[in-house]
Structures are given as C-alpha cells and as structure tokens.
Structure 1
C-alpha cells in the first residue's frame, strides 16, 4: 500500500535504508523461517507489561475523574474522527501523537488500524513480522497528566498487539526479544506529562527503523515548537549504530539518557 501523498519516509523505496527491503527467508537456529509452536500461542497482556516497572496503579475512581476533568471519547466519535484521515493509515511509519491521551481510546484504535498493514502472509519470516509490528507500535505516542491513565493506555495497547499476533499468526510463539522491545517502546512512547503547562519537559524517542530488524533511537523534546527551542534544546542520538530489536533492552541501562522530572499541575 502506498504511503499518503503528504508524508514521505526518510528513505527511498528498496534502497539500502528501506526497512522493508532486502528481507529473505533466512532460517533461524531450528532451520525454519517461520518456526511454529506445538499449539496456538497463549499469552496475556502481562507478557509485555511485566518488563515494565510497576510504577502506576490501574484504579479508576470518580474522584480522579472529577479532579482531572476527564472527558471520555466514545468509540463512535473515535471512529468518525479517524475516518476523516484514511490515508494516514496507508503508511506503517506515519507518526501519531495524542497530547492528552487519557486511557488510550484514540491510541488503541490508531494501533488497530495500523496493524492491518502487518500480516503474517506478507512477511517472509517471524523476524520480519515482529519488526513490522514494532514499527507500528513505535510510531504512536501518547502523553497524559494522569499516571493511572498512562498505565491503562499501555495495557490496552499491549492487549491490541498481542491480540493481533495471536489472531494473525496463531501458531507462532512471539520471541522474548519482541515482547521486551514492545514493553520498552510502550514505556518510552506513552508517558506521563503536562503538554499544556510543561511541554518543554516531555521527552520522546524517535524509533528510526532500519533494515533487517533494527532501530536507531534519537531522543528529543519533540513537543517544543521549533521557534521556541533555546540553546539547550537538542536531539540526542542514543544509538551510534542501529540496534536489533531483540537487543534493545540489553543495553538500555548503559546508554539511556537521563530524563528531567516532568512537572504536573495535579
């Protein structure tokens, strides 16, 4: 499917930097490009969420809803709004940012629509398939002032990814590297922050996909308008060279940039 005309990828189709180019049906250690489990894969959301630190609770209370003046968007309205931009879902790496994401009503539907571009039938190997799933997840960002909302949004997005994997590739067991990478992406893309009063302190990671299952991470305070960036604003390249998704978690404690504390108006 062609990417939307108003968006262009930072690579040319089929060139050396195209993450979808050059894939071959290369056998894994067991001699199979698509190794299958004995039965249908059986996972729950914790398969992705356990690698995340248990920072936030999952309890929704009327007091919290009142204090944060939360407004919940019905699925009908979510669908109606996203239906206005159908071509935004023609490109796997088109980025979305929800600056007040709540518990993830828009994030989960955006993810579902993106995952329609990822099918086992169109991928030559499990590695190719998992990389495309992670690219879809890595292109979606959400910020909210409520830690409880962020925890819930992450959980719902994890459920959408696993549900797609189990439905579309139901005899294939996800790799540990995939599950850990998905947890890492959710932890860095869906974050607590105040986009109204402290957007300059919201730091997000740009997951730049590369061929053969790799990503290169670049951090920036991307919510700050260009004209408001001062001398101290700068992108920071975390990975000098692209890293395979299965190894993203292994080196995270050594090279992840230290984040500034985000102010909250709560």
Structure 2
C-alpha cells in the first residue's frame, strides 16, 4: 500500500487520540483500527458474556455502518471503511464511526441532505436479476438516512432446518459483504439489508450513497437465488435436514 496513505493514517488517527500498538494496528478506548484484506476497519470490544443475535431486526435504523459479524463462534462488531477514503476524508470518516459506536453519543444536530443535493437517479434504485425484481428504498426522515432492500419474506411455514440454513447463509453474507448489515425478522417479516449513512460527513455523502446503491445491487444478485431456494416451502427435500441438523 502507498506510503503516503500510512502517513495520512498515522496523522488522522493520532489527532483522534488513537495509539499505535503495532504495525497497521491502533487503539482508542474500546475501538481498534486495523486492516482486513486491504480494507481498513474499526472493531469495538464486546463483553465476553454478550448474547446477541447478529441478524436481529433491531439493527435497522442504527446510525452508521456498524454491524455484527461471526468468526470461530465469536461475535464481533465492526465498521468498514472504503479503501478510497484513505487518501481523502479518513479523519472525518473515523470521527463518524466513533460518534455512532454508541447511540448515546450520536448528535441530533446532524443535518440530513436534501434529495436534490444527492443527484440520484430512479433507475439506480431498481435491481433485476433473472425473474427477481427488487427496489432499493431511500429512508430520509427524522435523523435517519439509509438505503434498505427487502430481499424476501420469511414465511411462517419454514421448518427449523431450513430456517437454520437460512441463518447460516445470511450470517456468512454479512461477514463477506462490506458496508451493509442484514436482518432476519420473525415469520411474516422480511429479510432486509441496510446501509445506514446517518451522521456521515457531508463531503463524502453523495459518493458514499452511490457506492451503497451499487453494493446493494450486487449483493441482491449474489444472494437472491440461494435464499429463494431455502424459503421455498413447496420444495420437499431432506437435504436441508441433513445439512443443518
């Protein structure tokens, strides 16, 4: 990675109070900045006895890009930072992450942009893949600015084996895909994906939303066939019971 980026990172993180622990790793309070597959991320320390569902629908509407991921049966909370930010507005971006790491810190003085300021096109919100057509919704009310995508309803008839398979697929997707968070509601609700920009720096907001639209579009095309198969209760098969028991 370019040396100037590391200088920029050092300067930005030092201004915000981060302390360098080792190469490419910094800490501040309960937050750790590090790299993962060339992506800078912030991770937040969680209590050892924390019992939380990483797909809990209460995540919808939470400000910022924070989400829960699972690895080796350990739940982590992280905030992904697009690599292109390194040479631009890193300090502002990390300040946003710090601000939204605890809802009690989030200031309601943040101003939501006007729709005309975003220069968005209607066709960017429609995603089609094979026979599946979905619309991305822009939530722009109160202190919330987010993109949301309803992927598929969760039918009450889904047996526990398919539901477990579905959970496994969604948790894996949440681990893999940057920026977005996924929620799995109760039967009768929907599988949702959200990218939440509440509190984001105004200087990068427009480009960030356009990136978010692209991420959700690619994500839907990558995921939809798999979850549709799992949720199809008319398809009778013991394979789900064998795989997810």
TM range (shorter): under 0.3
Higher relative contact order (CA 8 A, sep 6+): 1
In the superposition, the TM-score normalised over structure 1's length comes to: 0.26
In the superposition, the TM-score normalised over structure 2's length comes to: 0.27
